[in-house]
Amino acid sequence: AQKITQTQPGMFVQEKEAVTLDCTYDTSDPSYGLFWYKQPSSGEMIFLIYQGSYDQQNATEGRYSLNFQKARKSANLVISASQLGDSAMYFCAMSTNNAGNMLTFGGGTRLMVKP
Amino acid sequence: KAGVTQTPRYLIKTRGQQVTLSCSPISGHRSVSWYQQTPGQGLQFLFEYFSETQRNKGNFPGRFSGRQFSNSRSEMNVSTLELGDSALYLCASRGQITNEKLFFGSGTQLSVL
């Protein structure tokens, strides 16, 4: 079975500062993918970044980077230069070969950016 | 390219009724999956369809069903609605590669009174 844990229910960050959102995962499948999604109040889930279990380098997408520590089973999201529009719920999720295309989500972290 | 389209955006039903939600995937995507999001249970996988066949199913009662058409559009149906079925229902589509990212629609907010 797969499990995703996000231990920070809510976080504040000052505008223009960097913030790290924590995510730990558990799976026995050696082949898996880790995702981060952003969900603003409108409800849509917006894809941010993806890391494959065999990827050698940490994924980056613009202001988003994924700090992938395989031995620790962690996949933390780092947002650099926070903007007011970054205020939203953030979900870490995992898919595994054994589970097909099913995503297992964590409980989410609500990020609030202060002006 | 148009994104994932879900209709309707909001829906209000009463207990015992049934409801059908619709999802049009991104053009060329043949996999469509459905998720239920509630404050208490978070995001939970309902089922996935690929080329009109259900490929995977989550742990939901038989009142929840779905189907996929030859054009990859998908519908999910919930019969005999219960108050606990009130949720945001999200549809997502993806290409054929395993572990490829899912693209989500804006969801259908269902309220059961």
Inter-chain CB proximity A105 and B33 less than 8 Å:
no
Backbone torsion region of residue A81, taken as left when φ is above 0, otherwise alpha when ψ lies between -120 and 50, otherwise beta: left
Question: Please, are residues A21 and A87 in contact by the beta-carbon 8 Å criterion?
Answer: no
Choosing among A101, A103, A109, which should be mutated to test the B contact, i.e. which has the most B CBs within 10 A?
A101
pLDDT (average), residues A31-41: 94
Residue B98 pLDDT more than 70?
no
Check if A31 contacts B (Cβ < 8 Å): yes
Residue A105 pLDDT more than 70?
yes
**A43, closest residue in chain B (CA to CA):** B106
Q: What gap in Å lies between CA B108 and CA B7, rounded to an integer?
A: 7
Among the partner-chain residues A45, A107, A108, the one whose CB lies closest to the CB of B104 is A45
Q: Which residue has the tokens 């038989």?
A: B62
What is the pLDDT of chain A when averaged over all its residues? 94
User: Which pLDDT score is estimated for B2?
Assistant: 76
Inter-chain CB proximity A102 and B105 less than 8 Å:
no
